Amino acid sequence: MTNMNFRTPSICLLITGLFCLVFTLPGNCRQSSTPLTEGLSLAVFDVDATPPVESLLAYDPMEKSDDLGLRARGIVLMGSGLPIVLCAVDWIGIGNESQDAFKARLARAASTLPSRVAVHTVHQHDAPISDWGAENLLVSAGLDANAFDSSFDRVLLDRLDDAIEKGLKTAQPLTHIGTGKATVERVASNRRIKGPDGKIQYSRTSSTKDPKIRDFPEGLIDPEVSLVSFWNEEQPLAVLSYYAVHPQSYYLTRIANPDFPGIARYLRQLAVPEALHVHFNGAGANVTAGKYNDGAKINRKLLAERLAAGMEQAWKTTVKTAIEPTSVHWAHEDVLLPANEKVPEIAREMYQQNARWLTNNMQKLAWYHRQQRGKKISVSRLSLGNARILHLPGELFVEYQLAAKAERPDRFVALAAYGDYGPFYIGTAAAYAEDGYEINVSPVTAAAEPILMKAIRKLLQDPPADYGQNNPYVLQNETARPIKTLDEWEEKKRSWENNRAAIMGTLPSRKGLAIPTLTYLDTLKDETFNRYQVSFPSDDRNQVTAYLYVPHESSRRPAMLALHSTGELGKKIVDGQGPLANRAVARELAERGYVVLAPDYPSFGEQTDHDFSTDGFPSGTLLGVWNHLRCVDVLSQMPEVDPDRIGVIGHSLGGHNALFAAVHDERIQAVVSSCGWTPFAYYDIGEAGTERYGGRLGPWAQERYMPAINNLLPDANLPFDFTDIIASIAPRPVFTNAPLRDSNFDVEGVKSGMKAVQPVYSWLGFPERLIVRYPDAEHDFPPGVRKEAYAFLDDYFGFVPTRRLAFE
C-alpha cells in the first residue's frame, strides 16, 4: 500500500477540467482509444438530468433550474465477468417498474445483465420522482399521472444510453483502487427524538425552526463520509462518495437543484477535475441536517462546505492499492420484504387526495402490488480488493449502515441506499414500536430487518477465490480470452444453439402467431382446483391434448408446465393415475396453488397414434418443444397467471424435455428436471442395448426423439450436450434430481456436468440458482426431493402455497 501524494491543480489544469466537465463527458478529454480487451478498465458517464421548465418536480411545477442543475452520473467497470454499472441520479426516487426500466436500459447500453446494474438517487426534493408502476395505477384509475409522468424519464434514458456508449469508447485502464474516509462535522443529526416513555416525541426535520428541538444532542448518526476512487496508475478516473443524511437544506422552491450534496460534489469536482465525482446517499432515513439548519438560505452553502471538507479530508487520507480482475467481484441477494397490510387503503384514498399526497404514497401502492406478485428487490455488493460497497433499497435507517460496518470492521465498507424507492421508509424492528413519522408512513413491517440483515451479512462475506472467470464455458470459443460483454456471451450461446439445431432441427417462425383457442372436453372439480381436459391446435397439422389445472379463486399466480415421463398414459402420469408413485407433480402443484398445464408428448396419451412422418417437424423432440412453447402461449395470456412467473417441471422424458423447452423459450423462468439428463458421454445402455439400437446413443435416435442421430451411429459424437443447454439457460434457476442408483442417467455424469456448469452460474452472479440433489434412490422422484423442488419454486417465484402437501 502507498499513501498518495497530492498536488493542488494548476490554473491551466483547472480550466481544462472545467471545460471537460461543462462541454463533454469527462472521458472525452482524454485521447480516444479502442475498447480495452485485457485487464480491468473503467468508463464514466455524466448527463444532464434536469427536466424542462414547466415539468412537474416531485412536489411542484418547475419554474427554473439553478446554475448546477441535476446530474445523472456513474461508472462502468469492465474486465471481471460482465460489466458492472453504478449510477447515481439527482432525483428524489426511482422505484418499482422504473427501477426495472433504468436497469434494463443501462444494462443494454453496457452489454451486461440488469442484475449487475445499481441505480440510486441522491434524494434531493426539488427534483423529479420516477415510478412507472405508480404512473400506470393513476392513469388506469382515470387520474392525472402528476409527478409520475414518465415523459422526461425516457429522455434521460436516451441520454444515459448515448453517454455510456461514448464512455465505453474512451474507457481507461484501471490499475488501482483508492479508499479513504473522514468525519463530517456539523451536518448530520438524528431525526427521531424520544420522550421519557420511549416513544418518538419530536421529529427533527431537515430544516428545524424550533431551537428547543435543534438543541437536542446529535443522536445516532454515521459521521463518516467514505470515498472509493478508481485510478489508471497516477491518474484518478472517478471518485465515488458515500454519506448518510437527508440531502435537504430547504425545498419546495420550484427550482430544480441538487441541494448541498450537489454543491459539495461540485466543489470536489473543481478541486480534482481529472476524475468524475459521483455521490451516493447512505442510509439516511432517520438522519437530517435539522440540528444545524433552521432553513436559512445561507445554510445550504455552509452545509455544502462542511460536507466538501469531509470529502477533501477523506481524499487526503486515501490509500491506493493495486487491483486485478480476480479482486473484483459482484454479488446480489433478492429479497421479498413484508408488506404492511394497510397499504391497499391508498387505492381508496387516492381519489380524494392532492398531488403531494400522491407523490408520497402511490409508489408504495405500486410496490405492494409487486410484492403480492412475488417481485423481489435486489440487494447487491461490489467487492474491490479490501473494499465492499453495498447497494440497498428504500429509505433505510442509519442503523443498517452502522450494522454493516460493524459486521466487517476488517473491510472498508460503504453503503448506498435509495436504490429501489418502492418500499419507501424501512425502519429497524425496534423502531416500529417507537412510533414516529417514518414508521407511520412505512409500507413494510418490523419483519423487514432480519430479512435485510441476513442479506447484508451474506453479501459481506468474502467472495470465493474462484468464481468461474476461467471456466471454458465463459472463454471465447477461438481464444482463451474471457468473455467480457453480454453480446459476446450471447454469441457463444448462439453457437450452442446452432449445434443443437444440427440434430434437433430449427423451430418454425413464431412471428405473428395467434394464441391458441382451447376446446374444453371435460371438467373435474377437486377440493382446491378444477381440472379441465383441453385440446388446441399447435399449428395447422398438430394438436396439443392436455390437462389444465386452475386453482379456485386464482389470480395472477405462478404457473407450471408439467411434463410426463415415458409411458402410454401420457399426461395421466403427472395426474397420479399411473402405477408408479411419486409422479403426480401436476396434481400436487395444483393443490399447492399453482396453475398447471400438463400436455401429452407426441406418441403418448391421447396422441398414441401420432404419425411423425407427416407432422412437418424434423424431429419428435422439436415438435415436443414447439407444443410446449404453445402451452406457454396459453398460460401467459390466462388472467389467472402471472406471465412473469412460468416454470417447467418434468421427470425422465419430461426431465430432459423441461430443459429443451426452457432453452428455446426465455419466458420459462425456472426449471425442475428429475432424472432427465446426464452428459451423452456417460449415457450407457450396455452391450446388448447398444447392439439392439445400433449404437450407444441409439435410443435417442428414435423418430419420437432425434432421428438425425442415426446418421452418426454407432459412435454418435453429438455436437451439443446437456451442459451446453444448462449453460444456455443460465442464469435462470435449474433444479436437478439425480438419484444415486438411476440406471437411465448415470449420476457420475450429472456430477461431472454440474462441476462443469456451476462456474457459469457463479460467473453470471447467481451461484445458488443451480441446485442438484442426489437421493439414495433409483429412477424416481422421492417425496423429500419433491418437497425441496417445490420450495425452490416457491422461493424463486415469491409464492406462498395456499396448501401444504402431506409430505411437506
pLDDT band at residue 34 under the 50/70/90 scheme: very low
| pLDDT value of position 471 | 85
Could you tell me if 251 and 209 are in contact, meaning their C-beta atoms sit under 8 angstroms apart? no
What is the structure's pLDDT at 37?
Answer: 53
Residues 6 or more apart in contact with residue 384 via CB below 8 angstroms: 177, 228, 323, 327, 328
DSSP 61: B
Q: Assess contact for 390 and 459: CB atoms under 8 A.
A: yes
Cell of 156: 434521460
**Residue 584 φ/ψ, nearest 5 degrees:** -85, 50
| Strands 117-121 and 172-173, bridge-based pairing | unpaired
Instruction: State residue 438 phi and psi, 5-degree precision.
Output: -60, -40
* Phi, psi dihedrals of residue 300, rounded to the nearest 5°: -60, -45
pLDDT of 636 higher than 70: yes
pLDDT(548) > 80: yes
> Are the beta carbons of 259 and 126 closer than 8 angstroms?
yes
Residue 468 pLDDT grade (very low, low, confident, very high; cuts 50, 70, 90): confident
Do the Cβ atoms of 452 and 339 come closer than 8 Å?
no
Quick one: which of 86, 83, 103, 91 has its CA closest to 48? 91
pLDDT at 481: 84
What is the rounded CA–CA span in Å between residue 384 and residue 388?
A: 6
Identify which of 622, 626, 628, 620 has the alpha carbon closest to the alpha carbon of residue 646: 628
Q: What string of DSSP letters covers 409-438? A: TTSEEEEE--SB-TT-EE--TGGGGT--HH
Whole-number pLDDT of residue 570: 97
Confidence class for position 4, pLDDT limits 50, 70, 90? very low
What is the pLDDT, as a whole number, of residue 30? Answer: 33
**Rounded distance, CA 473 to CA 495, Å?**
12
- Three-state SS letters, 286-352: CEECHHHCCCCCHHHHHHHHHHHHHHHHHHHCCEEEECCHHHEEEEEEEECCCECCCCCHHHHHCCC
- Which pLDDT value is given to residue 526? 93
**pLDDT tens column, 648-693:** 999 999 999 999 999 999 999 999 999 999 999 999 888 998 999 9
168 touches 76 (CB < 8 A): yes
Check whether 189 has a pLDDT greater than 50. yes
Rounded CA-CA distance 484/471 in Å is 13
- Beta-strand relationship, 377-384 and 387-391: antiparallel
Radius of gyration of the chain (CA): 29
Residue 529 bridge partners (DSSP): 551
Question: Where residue 467 falls among pLDDT bands split at 50, 70, 90?
Answer: confident
Give Cα separations from 210 to 206, 390, 393 (angstroms): 12, 36, 32
- Share above pLDDT 70 across residues of the chain, in percent, rounded to a whole number: 95
Q: Which of 258, 219, 238, 300 is nearest to 57 (CA)?
A: 258
Query: Nearest 5°: CA angle at 590, between 586 and 591?
Result: 120
| 354: Cβ contacts below 8 Å, ≥ 6 apart | none
Query: pLDDT (tens digit, 9 = 90+) per residue, 599-629?
Result: 999 999 999 999 999 999 999 999 999 999 9
The x, y and z cell numbers of residue 8, run together, are 493542488
Instruction: Please list the helix, strand and coil fractions of the chain in percent, rounded to the nearest 5, in that order.
Output: 35, 25, 40
**Angle, CA 250 vertex, CA 245 and CA 253 arms, to 5°:** 135
Largest CA distance in the chain: 94
Domains of the chain (ranges plus CATH)?
2-459 (no CATH), 487-797 (3.40.50.1820)
Instruction: State how beta strands 395-396 and 387-391 pair.
Output: unpaired
The rounded distance, in Å, linking the Cα atoms of 766 and 154 is 30
Rounded distance between C-alpha atoms, residue 728 and residue 733, angstroms: 11
Handedness of CA 283, 339, 369, 60 (dihedral sign): negative
Q: Where are the alpha helices (DSSP H) in 583-668?
A: 585-591, 620-636, 653-664
What number is the average pLDDT over the span 338-358?
96
- And the C-alpha cell for 737? 434430481
Q: What tens digit of pLDDT does each residue of 552-598 get?
A: 987 889 999 999 999 999 999 999 999 999 999 999 999 999 999 99
Model pLDDT for residues 97-154, shown as the tens digit of each residue: 999 999 999 999 999 999 999 999 999 999 999 999 999 999 999 999 999 999 999 9
Q: Is the pLDDT of residue 296 over 80?
A: yes
Query: Which of 321, 305, 316, 304 minimizes the C-alpha distance to 272?
Result: 316
Separation between Cα atoms, residue 665 and residue 655, nearest integer Å: 16
pLDDT attached to residue 466: 75
Place of cell 438517487: 121
Cell numbers 468473455 correspond to what residue?
483
| Rounded Cα distance, 172 and 20, in Å | 16
Question: Could you tell me if residue 81 is left (phi over 0), alpha (psi between -120 and 50 degrees) or otherwise beta?
Answer: left
Between the CA atoms of 290, 291, 297 and 298, what dihedral angle is there, to the nearest 10 degrees?
-150
Helix, strand, or coil (residue 192) = strand
CA distances 323 to 79, 143, 242, 416, Å, are 11, 52, 21, 22
Give yes or no for residue 29 having a pLDDT over 60.
no
Retrieve residue 755's grid coordinates.
Answer: 462441476
Joined grid coordinates for residue 316: 487526503
DSSP state of 67: S
Q: 673 and 655 in contact (C-beta within 8 Å)? A: yes
What cell does 614 get?
Answer: 407427416
For range 785-808, the mean pLDDT = 96
**CA–CA dist 391, 379 (Å, integer):** 6
Quote the distance between the C-alpha of residue 161 and its chain's center.
19
Torsion over CA: 61, 71, 224, 129 (sign) = positive
Q: What are the pLDDT digits (tens) for 718-772?
A: 999 999 999 999 999 999 999 999 999 999 999 999 999 999 999 999 999 999 9
Query: On the CB side of 649, how many CA atoms lie within 13 Å of its CA?
Result: 29
Confidence of residue 478 (pLDDT cuts 50, 70, 90): low
Q: Which tops the pLDDT comparison, 328 or 16?
A: 328
CB 413 within 8 Å of CB 385: no
Nearest to 789 by CA among 614, 588, 627, 645: 588
| Residues 45, 167 contacting (CB under 8 angstroms) | yes
Given a contact cutoff of 8 angstroms between Cβ atoms, the answer to whether 596 and 562 are in contact is yes
Query: Is 313 in contact with 182 (CB distance < 8 Å)?
Result: yes
pLDDT, tens only, 391-428: 999 999 999 999 999 999 999 999 999 999 999 999 99
